Amino acid sequence: MPVKVLIVDDSGFFRQRINDFLSNDKRLEVIGTASNGREAVELTKQLKPDVVTMDVEMPLLNGIDAVRIIMRDNPTNVLMLSSLTHEGAQVTLQALEAGAADYLTKDIRSWINKSNAMQNTLVERVVALGQSRGGRRRSPAFIAKPLKAGATSSIHSFSGSGPTHSKRVEPKSSVLSSSRTNTDLKTSIQTRSSPVRKTSHAASFPANCKLVVIGSSTGGPAALQTILTALPASFPHPILLVQHMPKTFTSVFASRLNQQCNIEVKEAEDGDRLKAGRALLVPGGHQVMIDSRQPDRIKILPGDERLTYRPSVDIAYAAAAKTYGNKVLAVILTGMGADGAEGARLLKQAGAVMWAQNEASCTIYGMPQAVVKAGLADDILDLNDISRLLMSGGK
């Protein structure tokens, strides 16, 4: 059965462009389009799509409020489309708070480019969300947390703008066909089956841990918030965070987390120290290394455009394995693809401990699955168990 998609955008150009992209793949079926949030809410109820692509700024009802209603009444995986700006990053985090599962940036240049890069990315995101198990039963996961005393939120309220008129709904369906060419969303390693503990009762925080490294992608912002907001200010270990995000988004996300967490969270800068009670988020478009001469210092390097992921979990894991060896606790969270699996292999060779998020609590069971199938996970854990076990390491 193809993944059923509802397209929501007040721009006729984007509705048509998204429809053209999705309708060329037989795994997908566009069952309707809407031009404002009210229509989106109504059509989600009527048509019951597997995935909704949602614009942010629309008349009558903006995308964020539409997501809140959809997640309350008809939980569905929603892919937000937002601008690659500071304001767009803020609004995207609001959408994730409201319950959206993922986002894509809405840069007009990439959407009109004759290459297939944007089409391939959009198609694979929609297919992955449509095939994931968590969407329909997931309530908003990126829950707003109280801020630190004296902190002010950098996320401002948003209301849609534009003329208050209704546009025609355009339900349609089609038969689709396509071939997958974009290597950045392919699984890049050969995996193998291996016995692994699949329950959390035997897992424990490693006593010799000196560094925690967490990798994540799709669904990661919500998962990271769940984990980090539970940690006490006295958490005795440094944390390195690798989340697939553009540079503008990582700066806003780090600031947001810092306001909500007891520990310090900041976007990493070259020369930053790895220290207890601090989580460093690798900036988008860059890679992280650890200074071998000063193991408590990190290096932030420009991301090589030939590499698929910038930042890359594989590179961060490899750097941690080289410097900290068996004193690393590595965690791989929800996300598409297989980034982290090769780095996990190096960590395991060095004697480190590897936790993988389980399928039931993932938005997309891609990155953890690659680690698990390669036989590299010491434990496969529910997100809440990961949070609880990390807390135990802070005592």
Mean pLDDT score of the chain = 83
Catalytic residue numbers, as ranges: 217, 244, 339
DSSP string for 17-40: HHHHHHTT-TTEEEEEEESSHHHH
Model pLDDT for residues 224-240, shown as the tens digit of each residue: 999 999 999 999 999 99
DSSP state of 326: G
Query: What is the average pLDDT across 107-124?
Result: 83
pTM of the predicted model, to two decimals?
Answer: 0.81
Query: What end-to-end distance do the CA atoms of the chain give, in Å?
Result: 49
> Range(s) for CATH 3.40.50.180 in the chain?
211-392
- Find how far residue 359's CA is from the centre of its chain: 15
Query: What is the average pLDDT across 236-262?
Result: 94
Query: Contact, 55 vs 29, CB < 8 A?
Result: no
Count helices and strands in the chain by DSSP H and E runs: 12, 14
Give the residue among 256, 288, 281 at the shortest CA–CA distance from 266. Answer: 281
Query: What is the average pLDDT across 143-156?
Result: 47
Query: What is the average pLDDT across 42-62?
Result: 94
Q: Tokens standing for 330?
A: 């590595």
Q: What was the pLDDT predicted at 51?
A: 97
How far apart (Å, rounded) are the C-alpha atoms in residues 342 and 340? 6
Query: Contact, 92 vs 106, CB < 8 A?
Result: no
At 367 the three-state DSSP class reads helix
Q: What was the pLDDT predicted at 344?
A: 97
Of residues 208 and 169, the one with the higher pLDDT is 208
Instruction: State the pairing for strand pair 286-290/298-302.
Output: antiparallel
How far apart (Å, rounded) are the C-alpha atoms in residues 182 and 58? 31
Of residues 108 and 251, the one with the higher pLDDT is 251
Q: What was the pLDDT predicted at 169?
A: 39
Q: Fold for domain 3-149+168-185?
A: Rossmann fold (3.40.50)
Sequence-distant (6+) residues with CB within 8 A of 258 are 148, 264, 265, 266
State whether CATH 3.40.50.300 applies to domain 211-392: no
Give the residues across from 102 on adjacent strands.
Answer: 79
Give the residue among 8, 14, 12, 13 at the shortest CA–CA distance from 38. Answer: 8
How far apart (Å, rounded) are the C-alpha atoms in residues 85 and 81? 12
Of residues 146 and 29, the one with the higher pLDDT is 29
Query: Contact, 21 vs 112, CB < 8 A?
Result: no
How far apart (Å, rounded) are the C-alpha atoms in residues 36 and 71? 17
156 pLDDT more than 60: no
Query: Contact, 10 vs 106, CB < 8 A?
Result: no
> Range(s) for CATH 3.40.50.2300 in the chain?
3-149+168-185
Q: Tokens standing for 318?
A: 């490899």
Q: What is the torsion angle, in degrees rounded to the nearest 10, for the CA atoms of residue 386, residue 389, residue 393 and residue 395?
A: 130
How far apart (Å, rounded) are the C-alpha atoms in residues 276 and 274? 7
2 pLDDT more than 70: yes
138 pLDDT more than 60: no
